[in-house]
Amino acid sequence: MKLKSIIAGTTLILIAGYFFSLRYQLKNPAKVLAEIKQQYTDVEGGYIDYTPENYKKLGLETTIYRGGVITTTSEYDFIADAYSGELIDTTEITTV
């Protein structure tokens, strides 16, 4: 009986650890860029810096990727969360 409890407890801890590690794993930058490009229309291209960097805004710290999206009418810089791929901030670049 005691051996079954030890095996069950160890298995539960390993499964919880696996799912915890998935949550705090950096997302592939290429996938982040592809997801962000889907949010724009008439996309001609895009770029992303594969080096994650720390970012602090309004007292919150996170790890981000910086990149940009080029459409037929404008160019946008973006900041995306490196863990979730969520778009944090975007800025339209004006070209003369």
pLDDT of 55 higher than 70: yes
Domains plus CATH for the chain?
A: 27-93 (3.10.450)
Instruction: Report, as an integer, the average pLDDT of 38-65.
Output: 92
Of 31, 39, 94, 29, nearest in space to 66 by CA = 29
Contact call for residues 81 and 62 (beta carbons, < 8 A): yes
Q: Measured between alpha carbons, how far apart are the two ends of the chain, in Å?
A: 76
State the pLDDT at residue 22: 67
d(CA 37, CA 47): 10
Position 1 confidence tier, pLDDT thresholds 50, 70, 90: low
State the pLDDT at residue 3: 84
Position 73 confidence tier, pLDDT thresholds 50, 70, 90: confident
Instruction: Report, as an integer, the average pLDDT of 80-89.
Output: 92
Q: pTM for the whole thing?
A: 0.74
